[in-house]
Amino acid sequence: MPSEGLLRRRNRSSVSGILTVPLSPRESSAVSPVAAPSAAASPAVVVEEAPLTQTTTIFDYRRLFFFGGIFVGLALTTLLGARYGPPIQFPPPSNLTNIPEYLYTVLGDVDLSSLLPNSSNLMTPSEVLGNLTDSIANFSLFSNSDNTDPNSEFLPGLILAEQGMQAKHPVVLIPGIVSTGLEAWNPPLASKNGNDISGGEQKQKQSCGQKYFRKRLWGTLNQFQAILMDKNCWINHMKLDEETGLDPPGFRLRAAQGLDAADYLFPGYWVFARLISNFAAIGYDNNQMMLASYDWRLGFANMEKRDQYFSRLKSSIEIMVNSNPDRAKAVLISHSMGSSLTFYFLHWVSSPEGGNGGADWNEKYIHGWVNIAGAMLGAPKAVSALLSGEMRDTVQLNLYGASFVERVFPRHEFAALFRSWGGVASILPKGGEYIWGRAGMPAPDEPEADRWSPSEQVTSFSSMITVTTPQYTEDMTATASVDRVLSRISDAVTTRWAKTYGNFSSVATSKQQLRDAVNDPTTWSNPLMAPLPRTKADFRLYCMYGVGLKTERKYFYKFEQRSLKDDALAQCLAHTPKDCNSSYVLDYTVNDRELSIENGFQLSDGDSTVPLISLGYMCADGWKRKRYNPRNIKVITREHLDRSEFGVTNLRGGPSTSTHVEILGNHALIEDILSIVSGTDGDGLQDEYISDIQAISSRVQLPEGLDN
């Protein structure tokens, strides 16, 4: 039944009331003003019938400068790895007096003549584009430090090395979703007696990938070239088979290997490069450090089935520890979705249903786990990506680019791609109403929840999706939102997801469920179902994440009945057949400054990608409970308030940034990690809370009677 409180509100003096950490003056000044409703109007969120008028310019959003805007629509494919931070300050350098001089400074190293055909060898459009991408790789707008200091990427490691810090524990880096490069492995099609075994049409479809043999179709600038010149070929490689969740017949993508698999995603756009450089500064090399790259498109079970990922990881850790002169145990360092994968691995490795390493394997080989920006309870962003193929990134770009993105890469193609990836399913919101809020009640992370009452008119986080279409008005809780997503996806896909992840909304309600989880693979990615595994008493679990950034928490959707014909219907049936009669589209016209609602998104505190409650609940509360931490493992939480500083040659925020990806270059975080892997942390690192996560956690009401 449609909710009567579709668009509800409470008077608030500023947008900072939505965030547990107040916005900085820079952030507050950039919020687009929205006209207040008239006195006669209903006290509801402003829903504008006319096209939205943006008062914030494109220069206020640093995300829109990804690669100088050249590949603006293509950068959207980075999904949950992308981050959204405060508006940038983008003044020209003080020594430049005009725009042409500024452009010359930025682009002066690009040899434009190399892009053009010459008399001896005319170039194809693909070759011109290839030369362009190679030229772009020669300079970077993504430095995270002062370019005048050649040693900046090794700081603070160099300083700590001078103070005597040295490498000790082997290090395993586990990247997040979309962070690992993916390479094409399509050799020429087999033939027999000069005749192609495959049919002509299938040959033409598959042969597109041969030109990219051992080149990255995800990561590096080859990705952009492939999308621009061979978009269908690129999609055929990236999309997984609905029935198996593996590569479609005739197409093979595999994760790049080695440290460079996720040090840089694109030229100049670092991911783990800063951490790797700092490890090297205190004495690490690739004998004591590994990057456990993986094909993040796959569901966790399929990672082992196709690539033996967990078996290889287990063997690699054993070799690193056994060959270490001091037999020092390994430190696992995970980021984003990699933290859910690490939690899964720690259960898999000891269970007879997994690696069968025995109950004491973790005790023998793992010293500690550093969980960086882990989406342990999922991210609402996965809901919008799977439901409609839209995210805050695409909406912002469409508003500024006159729907450029929609024309280059329509949202139904995005949705079809996302729905085929089992990895995306692993970050759907977990815990249902226990974590994300019950209908008719404030969510635990509801702003001013202690003063909330049903009689007040308020837009509540307890509904993760609100449908604004009058005849289809509806409020959906987290559980209902995830169920609605699953209803739009093919039965083959959702059946496979259920076998891998179980019920996303499940929370342990009995001690028997907690005991059974030890050997139940469907619980190993859900920390609300499976307790922390057995480890030594000196084991430490460190949670490190950013706060103070506006992050997607709730969505306003329009529901559309559709009547597609001819080509449009054929396209829909090919990509998202369950959306052909009706579909959900984000309602960009819903805005309310006081409630921090922008273009159909309601924002909360977080790290720009993952909300605070998902980043911090297990660390601040869940893993402090006996039910989820039966051996009383020490859990230490270190929050980092975002203090990004932006400039023309520094779009990554500087050494104090804490956005979802850029926190990997945060100097304070790096210093903490180096103290852990060098063994000099001891009991020195303690909880450091900045946000309101402890108060939020206290409002989470889990089933009773499981902590005694």
DSSP state, 77? G
Please say if 169 is a catalytic residue. Answer: no
Residue from 336, 388, 460, 462 carrying the catalytic annotation: 336
Terminal C-alpha separation, the chain:
40
Reply yes or no: is the peptide bond before residue 175 cis, omega within 30 of 0: no
How far apart CA 424 and CA 177 sit, in angstroms, is 8
Residue from 340, 660, 672, 697 carrying the catalytic annotation: 660
Instruction: Annotate 642-659 with b (16+ C-beta within 10 A) or e (fewer).
Output: bbbebebbbbbbbbbbbb
Q: Is the dihedral of CA 91, 93, 95, 100 positive or negative?
A: negative
Residue 172, beta-bridge partner list: 290, 332
Between CA 98 and CA 105, with CA 102 as vertex, the angle to 5 degrees is: 145
Q: Is the dihedral of CA 117, 123, 128, 134 positive or negative?
A: negative
426, exposed or middle or buried, with CB in 10 Å at 0-12, 13-18, 19+? Answer: buried
Q: Report strand pairing: 549-561 vs 582-586.
A: antiparallel
How far apart CA 602 and CA 18 sit, in angstroms, is 9
Q: How far is CA 179 from the centre of its chain?
A: 9
How far apart CA 483 and CA 3 sit, in angstroms, is 18
What does the DSSP assignment read for 452-472? Answer: --TTS----TT-SEEE--GGG
Residue from 607, 621, 642, 692 carrying the catalytic annotation: 607
What does the DSSP assignment read for 606-641? Answer: EBSSSBHHHHHHHHHTGGGSTTT-TT--EEEEEEEE
How far apart CA 443 and CA 452 sit, in angstroms, is 10
Instruction: Annotate 611-624 with b (16+ C-beta within 10 A) or e (fewer).
Output: bbbbbbbbbbbbbb
Contact (Cβ atoms closer than 8 angstroms) between residue 299 and residue 240: no
How far apart CA 85 and CA 676 sit, in angstroms, is 28
What does the DSSP assignment read for 128-184? Answer: HHHHHHHHHTTS-SB--S-TT-TTGGGTTHHHHHHTT----S-EEEE--TT-S-EEE
363, exposed or middle or buried, with CB in 10 Å at 0-12, 13-18, 19+? Answer: middle
Strand, helix or coil at 236? helix
State both tokens at 34: 């929205």
DSSP state, 328? P
Please say if 607 is a catalytic residue. Answer: yes
State both tokens at 364: 């023998």
- Which residue do the tokens 């629509």 mark? 73
Q: Which residues are catalytic?
A: 336, 607, 660
